[in-house]
Homo-oligomer: A and B are copies of this chain.
Amino acid sequence: MNNFTFSSPTNVIFGKGTEQDVGKYVKALGNKVLLHYGGGSIKRNGLYDVVVKSLQDAGVEIVELGGVVPNPRYSKIKEGALLCRKENVDVVLAVGGGSVIDSAKGIAAATLIEEEEDFWDDYIMKKRRPVKALPIGVVLTLPAAGSETNRGIVITNDQTQFKRSLGSDHMIPKFAIINPEYHYSLPNYQTACGSADIIAHLLERYFTHTTNVDFSDRLLEASLRTMIHVAPLALKNPEDYNLRAEIAWCGTIAHNGILGKGRVEDWGTHSLQHELGAIYDITHGEGLAIMFPAWMKYVWKENPKRFVQFATRVWNVDYAVEKEEEIILEGIRRMEVFFKDLGLATRLSELNIDDSKFEEMAKKMLLGKETEGNFKKMTVEDAVNIYKLAL
C-alpha cells in the first residue's frame, strides 16, 4: 500500500425533500448566487421552482446562467466568469449533473484569476491548479460523474476540440444536495450512461499493479457488485426510490477519492474516451462502456492475476486452475453483456464511428507526453490498437 492523504470535506445532504433547504446552505456561503444549469430539464421537473423559492426565502440574490451542454464548453465558463465579475456574485450553485457541476467549478475558479490571465491557456493546458475560487454548492440531478464531492473538472475547448481535466482543492463543493426522487424522470438511456460512468470510476481504480490493497479491492468489488445488481433494476423501475438512492450514493462514493487510496489508479480508458468525446460528442458513459472492454482485452496480460480476481469476485466466474485466460475473457465478456443489457452500445461501429480518426485521437491524447495510463503505459500505437478493438 502506498502513502496517501484523504479527506472528504463536502457536506453531503442526501434524501427526500433535501433540496428545499438549498437556500439555507447557499446563504451560509454568500449573498448573491450564480444559479447555473443545463438545458432546462430542471424547469420541466419542478426542481428549478423549488430552488428559486428556497433561495428567495433565504434572502439570496439570484443571477442566472443556463445552457450548459454535455461535455461542457470553455466558452460557457468564460461567459460565466465575466458575469460573476460584473455582477459581484459571491457563490456559485450548480443545479444539474456532472457537466453543470464541472462548468460551475470552472466559473468559480476563473472568476478569481488575474485580469491578464486566461483560464484555458494559463491553467487548464498547463495543469496549473487555481489557488482560489468562489464557494460552490451543488444540487445533483444525475448521479454519474461524482463531481459533486471532488476537486476535478473536465472541460472541452469549443475552438480547438481539446478536452482536458484539472483539479484543485479550491474547486471542491462546500455542499452537495442529493434527492434521488429527482432522478425518476431521467430517461433510461441517461440512467444507463450514468451507471456505466460510475462503474468506470470504480474500474479505473481497480486496475492497478499496487500490491497489498486488499481492503480497497474489496470495497471496490462491493461497489461494483452493487451497481451490477441495482442498475438493471432501476431501468425497469425508474420510480423506485431505493434503487435510485443506491445508485446515487454509490456514484458519490465511487469518485470522492476514498476507494483509490494507497493505490496507483489508471485513467487511461477515460483519456481514450475523452478524445472520442471531443470529436464525436458521444455520451461519456456510453463511450466508457465501449472503450473499457476493448482496453481490457488489450491490457490484461500486464497483470493476469488481477483480471482473474476481477472475473471471479465481481462476475462470479468459477475459478479453475490452469484456465487463467478463459476466466479472464469470460469476466470481460460478462461485463460487455451487462453493458449491452443496459441498452448501451459496446462497439464504435454501432454509433457509426469508423476508424478514420483513430490516429488523430491517439496523437492528441499523447500530445506532450510519452505514454498515457498506468496499468498499461499506452503509446500512440497502443491507443490506435485499442480503438480498433472497440470498432
A residues contacting B by CB (< 8 A) are 1-18, 211-212, 214-216, 218-219, 221-223, 225-226, 229-230, 241-243, 245-246, 249-250, 253, 258, 261-262
In the complex, are the beta carbons of B250 and A230 less than 8 A apart? no
- Which listed residue, B7, B8, B222, B246, touches A222 by the CB 8 Å rule? B222
Copies in the complex: 2
- Bound form: Cα–Cα A249–B6 in Å: 11
**Using Cβ atoms and an 8 Å threshold, which residues of chain B touch A17?**
3
Q: How far is the CA of A294 from the CA of B211 in the complex (A)?
A: 38
**Residues B212 and A218 in contact, CB atoms below 8 Å apart:** no
Q: Please, how many angstroms separate the alpha-carbon atoms of A245 and B4 in the complex?
A: 11
Q: In the bound complex, what is the Cα–Cα distance between A2 and B249 (angstroms)?
A: 12
**Hey, which chain B residues are within 8 Å of A258, CB to CB?**
253, 258
Kindly provide the distance from the CB of A256 to the nearest chain B CB, expressed in whole angstroms: 9
Q: How far is the CB of A222 from chain B (nearest CB, A)?
A: 4
**What's the nearest-Cβ distance from chain B to residue A22, in Å?**
14
Which 10 interchain pairs have the tightest Cβ spacing?
A: A3-B15, A212-B242, A218-B222, A222-B222, A8-B8, A9-B9, A1-B245, A215-B226, A6-B12, A7-B11
Tell me whether A249 and B261 are in contact in the complex, defined as CB-CB below 8 angstroms, given that A18-B3, A212-B242 are known contacts. Answer: yes
Which chain B residues lie closer than 8 Å to A2 at the CB level?
15
Contacting residues, chain B, for A226 (C-beta < 8 A): 214-215, 218
> With a CB–CB cut-off of 8 A, which chain B residues contact A11?
5-7
Name the B residues within 8 Å of A6 (CB-CB): 8, 11-12, 14
Given contacts A1-B249, A15-B2, A15-B4, contact A230 B218 (CB under 8 A): no
Complex CA gap A211/B262 in Å reads: 32
Q: Give the residues in chain B near A1, CB-CB below 8 Å.
A: 15, 241-242, 245-246, 249
Contacts of A9 in B (CB 8 A): 7-9
A249 nearest CB neighbor, chain B only: B215
Task: Write the chain B residue with the least CB distance to A6.
Answer: B12
> Which residues of B lie under 8 Å from residue A7 when comparing CB positions?
8-12
Chain B residues closer than 8 Å to A212, beta-carbon distance? 242-243, 245-246
